[in-house]
Structure 1
């Protein structure tokens, strides 16, 4: 059984991007029950037990044979387990999901889930992690056998989001595309140069020395409350404050004294903007983007920059540009500047994490995007930042490949972003504690 990928989904095949979720566990985790819970989810979602295969018009999803269906992997590990799992690829032709439970100590585990971006976005990935623990709680003590996969029909596959958009005039879409091409051509954005040597030999040994790593910024609950209060008092969004902090950190690493044109690409969730809205449990990529380029001076006022970024993004959404962006996405390979930003700033907002069962303490829930292909020879690229708040703590995850940006470079970058965010909070009083 196959389901053809739409032109937008076909773009994700080449990108080889994935969502990587994790949580640290303490207590008594029943591994066989967790394995049954994962089986139950893959039984319900055919995309999770599929692979990508080439077809005449591009690619399609194809169900895996039962003996190749992804199962929960159980293994032992240590401090490097997170990085090891983060760097496990999901190659074309293999399963589009992976789950692993790593025993890291006498009563500690690390749970990781990896999902191909072709069939997920941030909201559906987080929803799937939460659903795993909901199913685990339901199965504890039942002794149920592993869940057989239900027969799949054409109606079982989720429809591509590009087929759920409101109707549009083809000429209006072409006009929008021409305008976007003119804008990006007139205002090309600058990218941050890699700090790693460019003369390193491109052989297997050199490639093996490099991997995806993540520099992480986490604000405590009180710091997060202060940042939200600062945004509220200033009439801006937290997304705008984070984007401004990232862009000023990029500008500080560029030469010259005058303003430099920087681009901020903000993914825009389509689920709530479709009619009818698409549930977060539907395993498809339901996201497009908004790219804006702005001049940023050395002494730019971060708050003014945050306000400008937020105002532009809000106006774009009100115009419905996100629907046009989805329609023109298949044309992006011919015009890559349409989605080239100095920074890429996702934002899941304040998100509910898993509800862990009695006897299991779950901490440090994370969502990190990663890719399988990086291009160190390009010499420069956007900086990726994934922003999500679990347990009232705002986290900014900064994934990078060590053949491009070194860990030391990204640590310094992260520290500058943290300082900029905390500077916003200096005059903000924490909001009253909730009593509900």
Structure 2
């Protein structure tokens, strides 16, 4: 279904430096994000078409493509007939959605034609047991994980209610909303050098495969794990007792798993990237459900080995994140991208190769925290909310975490070759075992 909009609410502008960066790496290997929710009830193609048309009408970034000429300079331009393509799959396998997520991670967008698509995995159609796994995929050029979940919720709301969309006006990219206190070449240089100096001192061990996977051949696959209500409640209780955040525990468990993978009987330090939602720090602050890239990454360096515990690792993550946010390093990173983003695809290739060789970390933990997502809308019952993220070409593993409907879903999104399918399953099990270990944490 196509959507007609007024020109005043369409976007025509150059990509911001951070948008251009994600567009460049997307030309090398797909940089996609997928959100999934399980819907129990009858969902018709007509309902999804109407819902898709409504979210396209609401969000200007869903009505653009990217064009560029011989002078590079990629730009957003309005699409003549913006739409969300819908692919419908019927399956008797309740886990079929996992194969579709893998397919969505592999399939690049033609950004000139749009950067969003929808898959409807249908189970037991036209019966009392009918259900649907809805998978919404967007390009990281226009959205981060939190934006994606907001978009998925909007799709569900429009589909269940049939309401008319509220058409938004375009807003500036996040790069233009950084407060002046975090701007400037010197702040960017300090932020860039900070991680490099720490890495030189601490010599972090990275997740590496048996052989190097060429950038353009990197494919993301996903391993799914879940904490049920009882396990989630126990983890939250333990984190409170230890005086750490759930994100700290998640990142700490992943760091310890990396250590056991790269040095099974040794000790050392590894790097973990933690995206930080910086919407509240922007001026003016975007709405919580606005689309865009609002989660720059701060690096954490975490010790592993026989003497390291989940709680010591979690405290280290929390302390480093608080320090980075206090120093506004996440803001300075985005503000300074105007100095560091490549000016052409050729220089972009060289820059990405340099990062791949020298980055002090190549694993990140994207934790969206507790998400306000309805359990029921009309006759639709909703559960199993999760996200997955393609690694593109600058990381080996992204651990994507959502907590909703009284359960936690964890997607281990790995580059095939950096981990084998069996190795990825073992890595996920190692993290889950650490998180659900009932050894009492030390008192705060």
Alignment check: 8 A CA contact 2:375 2:381 kept: no
Give the CA deviation at 1:288: 0.7
Do residues 228 (structure 1) and 236 (structure 2) align? yes
Aligned match of 1:341 in 361, 365, 373? 361
Who is 2:440 aligned against?
427
Do residues 193 (structure 1) and 208 (structure 2) align? yes
Deviation sequence 1:263-296 (CA, Å, 0-9, x none): 1110111112223321122211111111122443
User: Any residues of structure 2 matched to 1:242-321 within 5 Å, and which?
Assistant: 242-255=250-263, 258-321=266-329
Aligned match of 1:406 in 414, 417, 420? 420
Given the superposition, is the C-alpha separation of residues 70 and 273 from structure 1 closer, same or farther in structure 2, using an over 3 Å criterion?
same
Deviation sequence 1:112-156 (CA, Å, 0-9, x none): 11011111111111111111122223318xxx8xx8x98xxxx94
Give the TM-score normalised by structure 1.
0.83
Give the CA deviation at 1:41: 0.7
Do residues 358 (structure 1) and 373 (structure 2) align? no
Given the superposition, is the C-alpha separation of residues 426 and 190 from structure 1 closer, same or farther in structure 2, using an over 3 Å criterion?
closer
Q: What's the RMSD between the two structures over aligned residues?
A: 3.0
Given the superposition, is the C-alpha separation of residues 60 and 184 from structure 1 closer, same or farther in structure 2, using an over 3 Å criterion?
farther
Do residues 83 (structure 1) and 80 (structure 2) align? no
SS in 1 for 2:141: helix
Given the superposition, is the C-alpha separation of residues 7 and 418 from structure 1 closer, same or farther in structure 2, using an over 3 Å criterion?
same
Do residues 369 (structure 1) and 383 (structure 2) align? no
Who is 1:104 aligned against?
123
Measured in 2, the distance between the counterparts of 1:23 and 1:176 equals 37
Alignment check: 8 A CA contact 2:253 2:310 kept: yes
Given the superposition, is the C-alpha separation of residues 300 and 355 from structure 1 closer, same or farther in structure 2, using an over 3 Å criterion?
closer
Deviation sequence 1:58-97 (CA, Å, 0-9, x none): 311122221x633433343454454235243323323200
Given the superposition, is the C-alpha separation of residues 411 and 314 from structure 1 closer, same or farther in structure 2, using an over 3 Å criterion?
same
Aligned match of 1:19 in 21, 33, 45? 33
Give the CA deviation at 1:2: 2.5
Deviation sequence 1:344-374 (CA, Å, 0-9, x none): 1111001122454332222322111125x55
Give the CA deviation at 1:410: 0.8
Alignment check: 8 A CA contact 1:133 1:356 kept: no
Measured in 1, the distance between the counterparts of 2:219 and 2:189 equals 40
Q: Which runs of 5+ in 1 are unaligned?
A: 376-380, 429-436
Alignment check: 8 A CA contact 2:199 2:360 kept: no
Deviation sequence 1:307-348 (CA, Å, 0-9, x none): 111111112212222211212345374863885415311110
Do residues 416 (structure 1) and 430 (structure 2) align? yes
Who is 1:61 aligned against?
76
Q: Which runs of 5+ in 2 are unaligned?
A: 1-10, 342-350
Given the superposition, is the C-alpha separation of residues 238 and 270 from structure 1 closer, same or farther in structure 2, using an over 3 Å criterion?
same
Who is 1:433 aligned against?
none
Measured in 2, the distance between the counterparts of 1:172 and 1:51 equals 33
Do residues 157 (structure 1) and 170 (structure 2) align? yes
Give the CA deviation at 1:174: 3.3
Query: What is the number of equivalent residue pairs in this alignment?
Result: 402
Aligned match of 1:9 in 19, 44, 65? 19
Given the superposition, is the C-alpha separation of residues 53 and 188 from structure 1 closer, same or farther in structure 2, using an over 3 Å criterion?
farther
Given the superposition, is the C-alpha separation of residues 256 and 100 from structure 1 closer, same or farther in structure 2, using an over 3 Å criterion?
closer
Who is 2:151 aligned against?
128
Who is 2:137 aligned against?
114
Measured in 2, the distance between the counterparts of 1:228 and 1:248 equals 19
Give the CA deviation at 1:104: 2.9
Given the superposition, is the C-alpha separation of residues 60 and 303 from structure 1 closer, same or farther in structure 2, using an over 3 Å criterion?
same
Who is 2:47 aligned against?
33
Given the superposition, is the C-alpha separation of residues 253 and 355 from structure 1 closer, same or farther in structure 2, using an over 3 Å criterion?
closer
Who is 2:348 aligned against?
none
Measured in 2, the distance between the counterparts of 1:292 and 1:261 equals 10
SS in 2 for 1:194: coil
